[in-house]
Structure 1
Amino acid sequence: MTMPPHCPPGTAGAPATYVFAVCGPDRPAHPGSAAGHPGGGPLRFLAVGALRAVVQDVPADAFSESALRERLTDPAELERCARAHHDVVTAAAAGGPVVPLPLATLYLGDERAAAALAENQERFRTVLDRTAGRAEWAVKVYLAQPAAVTAPPAAPAGTPPPGTDPGPGRETGRAYLNRLRGLRQQREARQDSALAAAEQVDSAVRQLAAGSVRRRPHGPEATGQGRTQVMNAAYLIAEESSGHLASTIGQLRSTPGFDGIEIEVSGPWAPYSFTDGGVHAGQQ
């Protein structure tokens, strides 16, 4: 977790302004039903030029840079903070397009928050226009590895080295090495097929999307043993195309050659992945 450069040092007893998201001016009277961070004030709007920010007053000493660094290194506390942040962004997005801001975006008071955010008004407007009527969908592709492929075979006890006589009924060292080589070739072939399947999934979903972002696949510490993530992507898709997305994924899952391929889809989400650079244009 990288703290934003505007995260304030904190002043005991004084409230800080925590900013969740920026939205357009045409919004309901209240930013949503989420509660925000425990110990903070009610959610409210803050004028940012012609735009509005969803903010909350929070105790500055509890959200100082040192306090946040300590809290966010605790996985349970990090999850609580991230969930509170996400819940507010999601509630705000129910009323129209939003630009989600990073976790722990804080300023020492409304005046500093409004001034800093106003410097990015044009970028916020561009993102709001681009994401209006659209949502983010995450699509991940995995290769499920059979146990016989993931675990190398153990050499039989007493396997003699290559070129020696193993005796009746025993596997030679050369045969064992050939078996090991065959399993490695199987893994490589399966990996190549999975990468080709991932490109097929990406190509099909991009036909529905206004933008896409490809990220580095997660390792086994995040995905678990027994499967390998080969694609980790996000797509910006029109709300009316969500049904088409579901049917497209259904067709892909039944595609010949997709044996052992798992496709996970989640969403719709607020457009976290489409608030700045790194977006590849798709069909408009």
Structure 2
Amino acid sequence: MLYVYAIVADHAAGAEALLPAEGILPGAAVRLVPAGAFHRQAPDASGLSVLVSEVPDTVFGEEQLRAHLGDADWTRARILAHQRVVSALLPVATILPLKFCTLFAQDASLGAALATRRPALGATVARLRGAREWGVKLFFAAPPRSTRPLEPVGAGAGLAFFRRKKEEQEARAAAEAALDHCVAASHRRLAGLARAAVANPLQPPELHGQAAVMALNGAYLVAAEDEPAWREALAELEQAHAASGARYVLTGPWAPYHFTGDGLV
């Protein structure tokens, strides 16, 4: 079986030296192979190559893989191994990363997929060329509980209670509106300086590990020449919204996982 990590373009000779000694499994060598080598009846002239490892079907066969994926530690180790291979050539090539566990039974089936998807792959590589993916997570501290003293009991206590509840609702609505505006303005500003952008689903605290509420989980494909302006915009957003408790977390650069189209599907 063939495990496929990524489609690669624009790499210089000798790029293979940057690849890790092991791939998706211990002892599984990583090869950088011209795409045309997998389809001898239809030679490829696109200049694309493929990062692959040969893997046993005793591990990656359909039933065996399903069982392995039920093991969280095994899966985490394989995901990290996949990312190591994909990231190795990121500084020296254009990388179209493929989904975790992209598998083909043999060279011919991989070659057929490459031939069928060649125009789409070429267009995606052209869109990714010269750009990197950055992540921005926006957090807000959880709103504090009201410290306003309780209204005294007695005459008018009921009216005071409802007045206070109304004030709290209005304050909460105003805070939520301000937060929504900050999130929308932040994503719009950063996306406007990127080739492409996506707002991913928000993560729960057990995943992001922050003592705060996640309000934006954005990914941005930024051209190298636009990175200074993009990062300056992020710094301006941080300064503008600091007083409201906003905290921006920048991650990356990453291989452009969020902007790869349909890959080899």
Structure 2 length-normalised TM: 0.82
CA distance in 2, matches of 1:273, 1:31: 27
Which segment is superposed worse, 261-270 or 29-38?
29-38
2:18 counterpart residue number: 32
1:47 counterpart residue number: 34
Residue deviations 1:191-231, cap 9 Å, x none?
A: 21111111221222123211111223233443457532222
1:69 aligns with one of 62, 66, 69: 66
1:187 Cα shift? 2.8
2:40 counterpart residue number: none
Which segment is superposed worse, 233-242 or 132-141?
233-242
**Does residue 136 of structure 1 match 2:128?**
no
2:245 aligns with one of 260, 264, 274: 260
Q: Provide the secondary structure at the position in 2 that maps to 1:101.
A: strand
CA distance in 2, matches of 1:114, 1:139: 37
Q: Which has the higher contact order (CA 8 A, sep 6+)?
A: 2
Which segment is superposed worse, 96-105 or 233-242?
233-242
Q: CA 1:118–1:173 in 2, change beyond 3 Å: closer, same or farther? A: farther
Residue deviations 1:13-69, cap 9 Å, x none?
A: xxx110000112654341732221223431102332332110011122111222222
CA distance in 1, matches of 2:161, 2:68: 52
Structure 1 gaps, min length 5? 1-15, 160-164, 278-284
1:103 Cα shift? 0.2
The alignment yields a C-alpha RMSD, in angstroms, of: 2.9
Q: Is the 8 A contact 1:19 1:54 kept in 2?
A: yes
Match of 1:144, as an amino acid? A
Report the identity percentage: 27
CA distance in 2, matches of 1:123, 1:83: 27
Match of 1:92, as an amino acid? L
Structure 1 length-normalised TM: 0.77
Flag the structure with higher helix content: 2
Q: Provide the secondary structure at the position in 1 that maps to 2:99.
A: coil
Match of 2:72, as an amino acid? P
Which segment is superposed worse, 215-224 or 35-44?
215-224
CA distance in 2, matches of 1:191, 1:73: 39
CA distance in 2, matches of 1:98, 1:127: 10
**Does residue 208 of structure 1 match 2:205?**
no
Match of 1:273, as an amino acid? H
The 5 A counterparts of 1:1-284 are 16-24=1-9, 26-29=11-14, 30=16, 32-34=18-20, 35-49=22-36, 50=44, 51-148=48-145, 166=153, 172=157, 175-176=160-161, 178-223=163-208, 227-255=212-240, 258-276=243-261
Match of 1:32, as an amino acid? L
Q: Provide the secondary structure at the position in 1 that maps to 2:135.
A: strand
Structure 2 gaps, min length 5? 37-43
1:249 Cα shift? 1.3
Q: CA 1:237–1:258 in 2, change beyond 3 Å: closer, same or farther? A: farther
Q: CA 1:176–1:61 in 2, change beyond 3 Å: closer, same or farther? A: farther
1:74 Cα shift? 2.7
1:245 Cα shift? 2.5
